[in-house]
Amino acid sequence: MRIKETYSITGMACAGCVAHVQDAISKLKGVSYVEVTLVEGRTVVEYDTDLIIPEEIKRVVDAMGYRLLLGDPKTREREQKRFERRNLMSIRIRLIVTVCMSVLMMLVGMKHDALGMGHHTAQIIQAVAATVVYFFCAWGYHVRTLKQMRTLSFTMDTLISMSISVAYFFSLYRLFSLGDETLSSVFRYSYFDVVGMIMSFVLLGKLLEEQAKSRTTDSLRRLIDLTPQTAMVMGDRGEYEEMAIEDIKIGDRVLIRKGDRVPVDGVSEGHGTFDESSITGESLPVERMVGTPVLSGSVCVGAPVVVVAHKVGADTVLSRIIETVRQAQASKAPIQRIADKVSGVFVPVILGLSFLAFIVWGLAGGEDAWLHGLYFGITTLVIACPCALGLATPTAITVAIGAASEKGILIRDAVALELLGKVTDIVFDKTGTLTSGLPTVSSVLWTVETDEYKSLLVSAEKHSSHPLSGALIRSFGKYQKDLHIIDFVETPGKGISFVFNGEEYRVGNKGLVGEIVCKPHEEPSVKEFEQRHSLSTLVYYTRGNRLLGLFAIEDEVLADASKTISELKAAGVRVHILSGDRTERVEKIASQLGVDSFRGNVLPEDKKTYVDDLRGDGQKRIVAMIGDGINDSPALASADVSIAVATGADVAMDVAMVTIMGATVESVVQAVHLSRRTSKIIKQNFFWAFVYNLTALPIAAGLFYPALFISPMWAAGAMAASSVCVVMNSLRIKR
């Protein structure tokens, strides 16, 4: 059986690590697909369970000097957090030790005469301090380098280990074999202090990089933190008991107190008020009545209410959102694959350039020629930075997808994120995207208006199963009273009739109420109302033949629809509207929103044909389709980018590349702008990474010496700073 799993790999330091791990896993028998990202080491592997088991993948990864975490997502998350805490603590300790040793080496090297010690004694002290740095602070780099060399893989660890190894062992050789013979001013002293300075900058950069990278996953961690660990569940004895959420079963009654987070998806047994901002991005609390859905992760902000669990564990909306965000952050944009290929050969090329610089300078002759070669060879090893290339895309993708999830926008993968910014045409399915999808009383004309008639209307409509009855109940629900009606009859396609206090009442269309009677002065108003709302569904309310009220019911345009369309057009996106509704109604809404391209009376297959025609008209369009993700699935599948506007239990994440949680379509504009901003940041990251390496390497190799050159210690600082710059630039997406 073929399955796809997401794992975490710890210990990777650069894009070279990613490339070699990915290459090693992809060569395993039974593995058909693998994606490895540098941020948190997220790894997606598709494999055949009949040919390979996860433990075999782990064995290969661990043999390369890294660690693959197995187990369920929560276990891996805990392991990942523990590793990150230990890793940050280790980096801090090693950085403190390295800085102290470096300061000691520099002090002894420059002030040994003032301290009353000879040059040779100062060299001995420097050697001891450098040994501490080499074997304690840099030991992890050496171990990983040795493991990687067994498989002929080269990473950033290789460059760091080799550069300080050359400096350290040459300095030892010079100390014990060459003595104190005088050299030129550049090489008067050994490279012991260089070992300390290189590691100081490397570890400082690593600390800043890890802290910045952890901020790129803040959004995912906040989503995970929305899941409570325990809940109050009705026990066998009829009392509420605290229970771990893993033990909650479908059908359990969960007590949600004020301030509690909902641990399951379910339905409310009473009236409750919930803050769903963490899930939908909507800031205003929502009311949940008896029988209405309640989402996991939402917070009770009103009176306590009981929720009956319908979905638990990994099946809840919150769990699915977390998994979607986690997989999306582990995906790669197409542009990243180019960087991965470059990174795969980057380190071997740098090793070759470093050796070439050593040989060329050595053979060039002149005073201290081979020492010049050694100096520039070490600098070339240190200054090169594949990390910046490796971090350019994944950090930006991780920040962007996390920021989108906080706004109630779920982006399935990096490809969808990249395509969103390139969209040229957006096709809206009218109902449920630009309109509420819920019948609403848009206008009312009372000829005889009393609270009793309104109460009677609500009491009667509560017995009806027609969707329009809900619109009337929502509009006049505050007048609800327990009134005794008899002889209730519902005529399909027409309306309802009933008797109250010996009089017959009717609520429905003209075919049901027949010829209506109203006073002469009321007739003009009634006719004007009918003409003005000719495209709406008209509902008449009569007592006998006497008209009491007239209601226009519509699927109202969402409050932010007009603003959304205007902003999309301003962004250069062409907007289209499709609907199975009457063409006249679609035209009215299109005109109201300022959309020229629209069609009504279309079936699901017609929507697919429309999208296909747009994509195939030769204008190189990138077409996005926005629908409810269910009855629009043919068109969604045909579009370049499929977007579902989902509310409550109607989440369509299984269908769409992008899911808008909540009832606001304005999120579509935010998604497009976020995508474009992310693409801009990624291009800036790549520009910086390439320009840095192309500029730094000639200087490091001594091409402009003596007019312009850089020492190994400052080269280490530049290398560390380049990675930090890329990560910090990616974090700007959050602003």
**Residue 429 falls in the annotated catalytic set:** yes
Would you call 651 helix, strand, or coil by DSSP?
A: coil
Residue 558 Cα distances to 280, 374, 432, 562, angstroms: 16, 70, 9, 8
Query: Are 432 and 454 a contacting pair, CB within 8 Å?
Result: no
DSSP state letter for 175: I
- Per-residue tokens: 605: 């297959």
Question: Which of 413, 425, 429, 632 is labelled catalytic?
Answer: 429
Would you call 646 helix, strand, or coil by DSSP?
A: strand
* Close Cβ partners of 10 (under 8 Å, ≥ 6 residues apart): 41, 66, 67, 69, 80, 83, 87
Whether a cis peptide bond, with omega within 30° of 0, leads into 293 is no
CA distance 598 to 588: 10
HSE-CB at 88 with a 13 A cutoff on CA atoms is: 12
- Per-residue tokens: 508: 């429905």
DSSP per residue over 239-306, as a string? SEEEEEGGG--TT-EEEE-TTPBP-SEEEESS-EEEE-HHHH---S-EEE-TT-EE-TT-EE-SS-EE
Closest CA to 177 of 165, 169, 185, 166: 169
CA distance 197 to 193: 6
Q: CA dihedral defined by 30, 31, 32, 34, rounded to 10 degrees?
A: 180
* Close Cβ partners of 43 (under 8 Å, ≥ 6 residues apart): 6, 7, 8, 9, 21, 25, 34, 35, 36, 37, 68, 330
Query: Are 607 and 614 a contacting pair, CB within 8 Å?
Result: no
Beta carbons within 10 angstroms of residue 55's beta carbon: 9
Query: Are 430 and 631 a contacting pair, CB within 8 Å?
Result: no
Query: Are 209 and 311 a contacting pair, CB within 8 Å?
Result: no
Catalytic residue IDs: 429
